[in-house]
Amino acid sequence: MTDSKYFTTTKKGEIFELKAELNSDKKEKKKEAVKKVIASMTVGKDVSALFPDVVNCMQTDNLELKKLVYLYLMNYAKSQPDMAIMAVNTFVKDCEDPNPLIRALAVRTMGCIRVDKITEYLCEPLRKCLKDEDPYVRKTAAVCVAKLHDINAQLVEDQGFLDTLKDLISDSNPMVVANAVAALSEIAESHPSSNLLDLNPQSINKLLTALNECTEWGQIFILDCLANYTPKDDREAQSICERVTPRLSHANSAVVLSAVKVLMKFMEMLSKDLDYYGTLLKKLAPPLVTLLSAEPELQYVALRNINLIVQKRPEVLKHEMKVFFVKYNDPIYVKLEKLDIMIRLASQANIAQVLAELKEYATEVDVDFVRKAVRAIGRCAIKVEQSAERCVSTLLDLIQTKVNYVVQEAIVVIKDIFRKYPNKYESVIATLCENLDSLDEPEARAAMIWIVGEYAERIDNADELLESFLEGFHDESAQVQLQLLTAIVKLFLKKPTETQELVQQVLSLATQDSDNPDLRDRGYIYWRLLSTDPVAAKEVVLAEKPLISEETDLIEPTLLDELICCIGTLASVYHKPPSAFVEGGRGVVHKSLPPRTASSESTESPETAPAGAPPGEQLDTVPTQGDLLGDLLNLDLGPPVSGPPLATSAVQMGAVDLLGGGLDSLMGDEPEGIGAPSFVAPPAAAVPANLGAPMGSGLSDLFDLTSGVGTLSGSYVAPKAVWLPAMKAKGLEISGTFTRQAGSISMDLQLTNKALQVMTDFAIQFNRNSFGLAPAAPLQVHAPLSPTQTVEISLPLSTAGSVMKTEPLNSLQVAVKNNIDVFYFSTLYPLHILFVEDGKMDRQMFLATWKDIPNENEAQFQIRDCPLNAEAVSSRLQSSSIFTVARRNVEGQDMLYQSLKLTNGIWVLAELRIQPGNPSFTLSLKCRAPEVSQHVYQAYETILKN
């Protein structure tokens, strides 16, 4: 008889009977009773009253009974924590049982009992199991650490379990390795800042060895872990790819997608000229095609991932078009996804084949699918210019079918074709006008109205056609009303004598009878334009329109890169980054592809601190947008000067203004008047000597940034680092560094537009900072920044801005505005840009000042791995305005006595001890402001080591 009998009983007084049976001496009766208890628990009855009796049954050698008791325990431990403690002794005992299955069962159950009181008792047994001789026990214990970490992270760290987990990555058993990786990845996900999975070539090698032998789940864990690793060069990337490629032929689709993710990520580092790159492209196609022979749900997941892959590397599947042809029995969600990919792969070589398919689809019965197919024909016309004529004739054939929804979709896409190829296919307008009466969908009506308005001069009865729409103006949707208003104004500008009444009628309908603010505003704008300056109205309304781009539905490049790193996860199905749909305390880490080694792009990651900052410090200084808004309340919008400070109280502005017009007025766009800040033009002293800029009338041309900065040999310049990654600034990426040349400080910026829209109206502001750094001129980007374009700008800085001590001392909070939004970032500037050129003290003064500064203000530092001699050190430091006042030789050691002066007048005195042949120097610093010393030492290190 099956176990279903346990679910059929409905007797009264059952708990009492079960209690008796659980305490029976007969083993079989006991087992039956526990099964009944589990059955009652499964159907939702409360059997927690039997807790002590069930726990007593734990003392048994029968594995099946033990499993049942443990199951009960997991379910009720949370509601009966005090009773659950009774089971601890049994756990501890079971963890030392000779049978590895029982040991593993005990450790697994311990991990599932989420009761704080018990966790500390479980540490000892868990420690033993992590070092157990049996791999089955070790792999179970590894997962238990992750569960325990979720309950009490501090306990796990204090007990050293994380180090034990890291050691398990080198285990001889591949399943133990896989579970250790899974546990560490899980923990690292909830603590993104902890560098738990410290991957290096040796540990990667161990993971790749384990990859071949562990189960499919294990392989997925290891592949996902590999995807988070960034190889040091293209050779290492290639060797990892070679060892991962065999996973592409795995039977499990999740393993295949995880392998594709790793390869797609590491291909970014391979040069396209390599033979191996071509081989890898060929190997990627067959597994992706195979995924499409699975059941529909899996096909859909595969297609969503393929959609991303095709956007990133269309060459992978360019010869596989036929696989994406729709089958008659495909569910609608698969059909629509296949259609999307077909258009992405459409090219001159296969367009005939694609069009034939699409024309076939347009006669299907499924309305949604037919609509998408008709749209697809239009998209093909826009994408492949050679096919446009064929596409237009196909669309005309479809319009002749007179099927309502087909006609409407065709008109919508023909409007786009007119936008892409002006003055080419307008001969079809007559055919379109014949179908005017059958249009009932807002989008189709709006498209038809646009066509009539745009080509009014070619349509004899354009005024009648548009007038027919006016009759039911208030019943139309907003989209149609707006389009109708614009079309009639266009018609009026083209045929003013015949349509004066019509335009007045539509303007009064839009402005007086409508309650839609958008429509009213547009109506008033047209009315005023037409009444004040009809010539200007013509230039505005009938202006030449830009051609529409091929692919309007491409994912933004930065988001696409992040989604490629999420292949095989939910993010790749949603086409949204994990941060968009994962809630809760889990830290969501933004992933991005590694930089190309072959390209000339900066290979610094966004986290790279500028030179002179210790590696760990950069991240701590980047505040959240929320933190910054508070600080930016005190931002000073007045142009700073490097002469005597001006009275800037009139120009103090709040954060609200920063997000609105404040920065516009900084750009000189705001007319002088009530409420506009009165800007004081800075004296000539504000212009850095080497900029040689003509003084202009407005603030915007104060400095002519195009007359390049002088090329005198100045202090060390750190390579540009990414300060604002594109994913945090809607596609704007800002890299930069600081320079000091001939007494002038500059912020050298590189702005890259990684979005799909043009960026304009740039402006910049600094928050108050320790040394009063502020822009000495507006941020001038002379031309709009187009997508994928990069521009280099040198922004002169002065040190006469508002001062406020920051932590760390050299942090700078920056706000950058463009036509899209205001973005905030924080960076660290190297202190040596503030070392002034007149920082050399005479000897007597040096000696007196050294004695005068208290000894507790002296700080000592070690500069290691610097193989320079005293002369080289002295000349290198002098180029960065650290001057040698005197030099002595004491017992074979060179002693350099040096002075430097900061822009705010603080002097720093130094003694540098150099032992010839020893690459470690001792640096002693004395200063009246001792908090500067650490940063001066970092400047020394930076200058001497670069």
CA distance linking residue 442 with residue 888, whole number of Å = 88
CA distance linking residue 659 with residue 820, whole number of Å = 11
What residue has token string 């199991």? Answer: 129
CA distance linking residue 666 with residue 674, whole number of Å = 16
Q: Which amino acid is at 843?
A: R
CA distance linking residue 484 with residue 589, whole number of Å = 47
Fold of 834-945: TATA-Binding Protein (3.30.310)
What does each C-alpha distance from 49 to 22, 76, 85, 214 come to in angstroms?
12, 10, 16, 43
Q: 3-class DSSP state for residue 774?
A: strand
Q: What is the DSSP string of 323-386?
A: GGSPPTTS-HHHHHHHHHHHHHH--TTTHHHHHHHHHHHTTSS-HHHHHHHHHHHHHHHHH-GG
Q: What is the DSSP string of 653-689?
A: --HHHHHTTHHHHHTT-SPSSTTS--PPPPPGGGS-G
Burial of 673 (0-12, 13-18, 19+ CB in 10 A): exposed
Q: What is the DSSP letter of 113?
A: -
Residue ranges of the chain with pLDDT lower than 50? 1, 12, 585, 598-713
Q: Which two tokens stand for residue 911?
A: 């003694």
pLDDT at 714 (0 to 100):
63
What does each C-alpha distance from 91 to 116, 121, 247, 594, 759 come to in angstroms?
16, 10, 39, 47, 64
CA distance linking residue 404 with residue 712, whole number of Å = 73
3-class SS string, 495-510 = CCCCCHHHHHHHHHHH
CA distance linking residue 409 with residue 405, whole number of Å = 6
Do 778 and 667 meet the contact criterion of CB atoms below 8 Å apart?
A: yes
CATH (residue range 721-829): 2.60.40.1150
> Minimal CA–CA distance to 391: which of 364, 361, 359?
359
CB neighbour list of residue 704: distance below 8 Å, 6 or more residues apart: 691, 693, 694
Write phi, then psi, for 691 (nearest 5 degrees): -90, -20
Rg of the chain (C-alpha set): 36
Q: Do 721-829 and 834-945 share a fold?
A: no
Q: 3-class DSSP state for residue 547?
A: coil
3-class SS string, 508-528 = HHHHCCCCCHHHHHHHHHHHH
CA distance linking residue 74 with residue 111, whole number of Å = 9
Beta bridge partners, 766, equal: 814
pLDDT at 897 (0 to 100):
92
Give strand ranges (E) for 270-340.
none
CA distance linking residue 257 with residue 305, whole number of Å = 8
CA distance linking residue 537 with residue 543, whole number of Å = 9
CB neighbour list of residue 325: distance below 8 Å, 6 or more residues apart: 338, 342, 357
pLDDT at 84 (0 to 100):
73
Q: Which two tokens stand for residue 838?
A: 């007149």
Write phi, then psi, for 668 (nearest 5 degrees): 90, 15
**Sequence spans of domains, the chain:** 441-532, 721-829, 834-945
pLDDT at 629 (0 to 100):
39
pLDDT at 2 (0 to 100):
63
CB neighbour list of residue 128: distance below 8 Å, 6 or more residues apart: 95, 96
CA distance linking residue 922 with residue 908, whole number of Å = 16
CA distance linking residue 443 with residue 449, whole number of Å = 10
What does each C-alpha distance from 852 to 517, 847, 884 come to in angstroms?
73, 9, 20
pLDDT at 522 (0 to 100):
92
CB neighbour list of residue 5: distance below 8 Å, 6 or more residues apart: none
CA distance linking residue 403 with residue 373, whole number of Å = 14
What residue has token string 């067959």? Answer: 286
Q: Which two tokens stand for residue 126?
A: 């868990």
Count of C-beta atoms within a 10 Å radius of residue 199 = 17
> What size, in residues, is the chain?
946
Chain mean position to CA 471: 50
CA distance linking residue 435 with residue 657, whole number of Å = 52
pLDDT at 588 (0 to 100):
60
pLDDT at 628 (0 to 100):
41
CA distance linking residue 785 with residue 732, whole number of Å = 10
Torsion angle (degrees, nearest 10) of CA 550, 554, 557, 560: -150
Helix (H) / strand (E) element for 890: namely strand 883-890
Count of C-beta atoms within a 10 Å radius of residue 805 = 10
Q: How does strand 893-901 pair with strand 883-890?
A: antiparallel
SS3 content of the chain, % helix, strand, coil (to 5): 55, 10, 35
CA distance linking residue 433 with residue 431, whole number of Å = 6
Beta bridge partners, 894, equal: 889, 914
Q: What is the DSSP letter of 611?
A: T
Beta bridge partners, 909, equal: 899, 926
pLDDT at 649 (0 to 100):
35
